[in-house]
């Protein structure tokens, strides 16, 4: 469904899309862990 959205889609369509995603309880499948992200992005976000 995300493929059907673009910058020309009216904002009201995004709301309907969001409601449907929330109703289905869709989850994000991260490709790496927080630890891996910290290591990979360390140069962008130095502590």
What does the pLDDT profile of the chain (47 residues) look like in tens digits?
Answer: 555 656 666 766 778 888 999 999 999 888 889 899 899 899 998 87
Contact of 14 with 5, CB cutoff 8 Å:
yes
Q: Is 12 helix (H, G, I), strand (E, B) or coil?
A: helix
Under a CB-based contact definition with an 8 Å cutoff, are residues 5 and 17 in contact? yes
In this prediction, residue 11 carries a pLDDT of 65
- Residue identified by tokens 């910290």 is 38
What pLDDT, on the 0 to 100 scale, is given for residue 36? 92
pTM for this predicted structure? 0.40
């Amino acid at each position: 469904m995300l493929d059907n959205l673009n910058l020309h889609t009216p904002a009201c369509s995004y709301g309907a899309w969001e409601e449907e995603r929330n109703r289905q309880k869709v989850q994000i499948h991260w490709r790496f862990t927080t630890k891996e992200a910290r290591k990979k992005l360390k140069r962008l976000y130095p502590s």
